[in-house]
Chains A and B, each alone.
Chain A
Amino acid sequence: MKYSSQSVALPYFIAAIGLFVGQIIFGLAMGLQYVVGDFLFPEIPFNVARMVHTNLLIVWLLFGFMGAAYFLIPEETETELYSPKLALLMFWVFLIAGAATILGYLLVPYSTLAEMTGNNILATMGREFLEQPLLTKIGIVIVALAFLFNISMTMLKGRKTVISIVLLLGLWGLAVFFLFSFYNPGNLVKDKFYWWWVVHLWVEGVWELIMAAMLAFVLIKVTGVDREVIEKWLYVIITLALVTGLIGTGHHYFWIGTPQYWQWWGSIFSALEPIPFFAMTVFAFNMVNRRRREHPNKAAVLWALGTGVMAFLGAGVWGFLHTLAPVNFYTHGSQITAAHGHMAFYGAYVLVVLTIISYAMPLLRGRAANSERSQVCEMWAFWLMTISMVFITLFLTAAGILQVWLQRVSDTPMPFMQVQDQIALFYWMRLWAGVVFSIGLVTYLVSFFVKGESKPLITA
């Protein structure tokens, strides 16, 4: 660790992993609720478990992004972080606010939570992924602004690199687009239109910039390839992402009451959205092939390559499967959507955060890389989680195809719940795959505590 202030990343990473565990516990609960409908009812009904699962995902990824920024920005800018104290203070604010929100979801009826937290002043609750009370949303803005202030001031006083500029652009974009969560028009078409300005422009927009920058940083470090080569690739990737993803937002505007030209625009541009992910995969493999050093952290290289592949498959391929309007007409809101959503989030964002943690955590603990035993354990975790996620996706895809056929395409369509009964087998299989995923996650946690001779830092 070259700069002492990089150490503030450590609590962020630990919180990220902790919240990840929480997310998966609720994921398992819901997996069972799909097939045993009144599991945990009425204490934790499905809709509450779902809010907890999705909100924890987003918050732990945000902790991961912030930790990544606090780690890589001082190193890129070659100067200490502007205010480590502010970073630590915001850590506790975010963690406590987040915990309080989750407890609110679990302990209090949602309508009561709304009353308690001033939803009558400005109604922002009730929408998917944006269920947070107004107070929490304001808290997120404050934490984000303080974080951006800290990082930006650091960048202003230090060296500017393409990686840090792209990362900062992505992070500022993240904050700006989050502001649309406060805009809740009465007109339902507009409501849905602008909702995607948060969700799509996050995960198919600015988050791709963040991801690409993080990946580029780790690849420079572990391969030693010339910075200029990597930076050129980074420009290409983010250009492709923005060119395809901005108007690609239109693939969410097919059926919500917008003009019909969105079916054309959305299909055409979003069909090309896999390309930046393909470029990221080629980029990652190419850099590793051309590496100039054998970095002792083999696990980090595996996570990095895995990110490229799984993001391309989950976000790119599975996204493409249902992005064209004529297809989406039948598959919209089905288990196909769930299949894509899980592999995309895992492949792109879970894996990139775990990649940077894999690279940075040993350094934060005072070594270049973990012991061979520890790395092997970590790599087992990668494979268990990744393979089981592939199976989760395959099972949900099968469920989705059957669901769409029985409920929408067939000449004698069946009602929703009848179809759910028909596809229940796939839900059971998905649940077992989820159990294996959890074993992978436990293996991951264990890897942090495996002892052995670690690789010492070489100050060079």
Chain B
Amino acid sequence: MNTCAQTLMPSLPVQAPAPAAAVRHLPGDLAIWVFIFAELLVFGVFFITYAFARSNNVELFNAEQLALDRTSGAVNTVLLLTSSFLVVRAVQFAQAGESRRAAPWLAGAFACGGGFVVVKLFEYAEKIAAGVSLSSSTFHMFYLSLTFFHFMHVILGMVILVAMWNGARNGRYGPDNMNGIETGAAYWHMVDLVWLILFPLIYVMR
């Protein structure tokens, strides 16, 4: 992992390298971590509310959960985990001073995200045709809301990946300038993390 020291004025480039253990390094911009915290808070509150609603409707939730497409969910889990791995590789290349070699890995991560989107759209089409809507039941409301909010964050994450890919292509990142790529990577990992909680919670756990 990056051992370069970085001040906590995140928009300034690194002033001078310090001994490895001297300063704790925050990967990416402080602002994105505040944003990540806020997002996790919103999702967290939503998850807790789901748990609360479920505790009042255990049988309904269990029954309707069975009708969810766990295969799609599993495929999507693999896709997101793979994409996160690809992003990690890209960051490693940038850290090693090979920004342009990072670009195809980011493109691969974008493609995995795209795969997630396609799988999700098929899943939604099938569910909507079967009569699932925000008003059809409380479980369906949570299922659609949570997965849709997450879906929107995947879209935003993909936009960020494009920006990172562009930066990598132009040789912008390197050991002295990791802020941009680490910031975007942190966001994408958050999107992945949310799914890793969402999938077991909504699709699997009984």
A232-B30, A236-B34, A272-B41 known; A264-B141 Cβ under 8 A: yes
Determine whether B42 belongs to the interface, using a CB cutoff of 8 Å to chain A: yes
Mask of B4-48 contacts with A, CB within 8 angstroms, 1/0: 000001111000000000000000001100110011011001100
List which A266-286 residues lie within 8 A (CB) of chain B: 267-269, 271-272, 275
Cα separation A236 to B34 with both chains bound (whole Å): 7
Assuming A229-B9, A232-B11, A235-B31, is B42 touching A261 (CB within 8 A)? no
User: Does A236 lie within 8 Å of B35, measured CB to CB?
Assistant: yes
B134 at the interface (CB under 8 A from A): yes
Q: How many residues of B contact A (CB 8 A)?
A: 21
The closest CB in chain A to the CB of B41 belongs to: A272
**Residues 207-250 (chain A) with a chain B CB within 8 angstroms:** 226, 228-229, 232, 235-236, 239-240, 243-244
Contact residues in B for A271 (Cβ distance below 8 Å):
45
Q: Does chain A have a CB within 8 A of B71?
A: no
Shortest B150–chain A CB gap in Å is 14
Knowing A259-B134, A269-B42, the reply to whether A232 touches B49 (Cβ < 8 A) is no
Q: CB of A320 within 8 A of chain B?
A: no
Interchain nearest-CB distance for B6 vs A (Å): 15
Q: How large is the interface on A (under 10, 10 to 19, 20 to 34, 35 or more residues)?
A: 20 to 34
Residues of B within 8 A of A272 (CB): 38, 41-42, 45
Task: Specify which chain A residues have a CB less than 8 angstroms from the CB of B41 in the assembled complex.
Answer: 272, 275
Q: In this assembly, does B145 line the interface, its C-beta being within 8 Å of a C-beta of chain A?
A: yes
Complex CA–CA separation, A229 to B7 (angstroms) = 12
B148 vs chain A, min Cβ distance (A): 11
Are the CB atoms of B38 and A240 closer together than 8 Å?
Answer: yes
**A410 contacts the other chain (Cβ, under 8 Å)?**
no
Residues of A within 8 A of B46 (CB): 268
Asked if residues A239 and B45 are in contact (CB atoms below 8 Å), the reply is: no
**Chain B contacts for A112, CB-based, 8 A:** none
B134 cross-chain contacts in A, Cβ below 8 A: 259, 261
In the bound complex, CA of A261 to CA of B138 (Å) = 8
- The answer for the CA separation of A272 and B49 in the assembled complex, in Å, is 13
Q: Could you tell me if A265 and B145 are in contact, using CB atoms closer than 8 angstroms?
A: yes
**B145→A243 contact, CB < 8 A:** no
Residues from chain A with a CB closer than 8 A to the CB of B38 are 239-240, 243, 272, 275
The CA of A271 and the CA of B34, in the complex, are separated in Å by 18
A236 cross-chain contacts in B, Cβ below 8 A: 31, 34-35
Whether, in the assembled complex, A260 has its beta carbon less than 8 Å from a beta carbon of chain B, the answer is: yes
Instruction: Verify B141–A261 contact, CB threshold 8 A.
Output: yes
| Interchain CB contact under 8 A, B31 and A232 | yes
Residue of A nearest to B53 (CB): A264
A residues near B10, Cβ cutoff 8 Å: 232
- On whether A259 and B45 interact (CB within 8 A), knowing A228-B9, A236-B31, A236-B34, the answer reads no
Residue B55 CB within 8 A of the other chain: no
Q: Contact between B31 and A243 (Cβ–Cβ < 8 Å)?
A: no
Closest to B46 in A: A268
Q: Which residues of the other chain, A, contact B11 by a CB distance below 8 angstroms?
A: 228, 232
CB-nearest residue of chain A relative to B48? A268
Whether B42 pairs with A243 at a CB distance below 8 angstroms is yes
Q: A229-B9, A232-B30, A268-B45 are in contact. Are A239 and B35 (CB under 8 A)?
A: yes
Known: A228-B11, A232-B10. A268 touches B31 (CB 8 A): no
Q: Return A244 CB to nearest CB of chain B, in Å.
A: 8
CA distance A222 to B135 in the complex (A): 52
A226, A228, A268: the one contacting B42 at CB < 8 Å is A268
Other 19 A-B pairs with CB < 8 A, given A229-B9, A259-B135 = A226-B9, A228-B11, A232-B31, A236-B35, A239-B35, A243-B38, A244-B42, A260-B135, A260-B141, A261-B134, A261-B135, A261-B141, A264-B49, A264-B145, A265-B145, A268-B46, A272-B41, A272-B45, A275-B41
| A-B interface, 7 closest residue pairs, ranked by CB to CB distance from nearest | A261-B134, A236-B34, A261-B141, A259-B135, A232-B31, A240-B38, A268-B45
* A-B contact list, 21 entries, CB within 8 Å: A228-B11, A229-B9, A232-B11, A232-B30, A232-B31, A235-B31, A236-B31, A236-B35, A239-B35, A239-B38, A240-B38, A243-B39, A244-B42, A261-B135, A261-B141, A264-B141, A265-B145, A268-B46, A269-B42, A271-B45, A275-B41
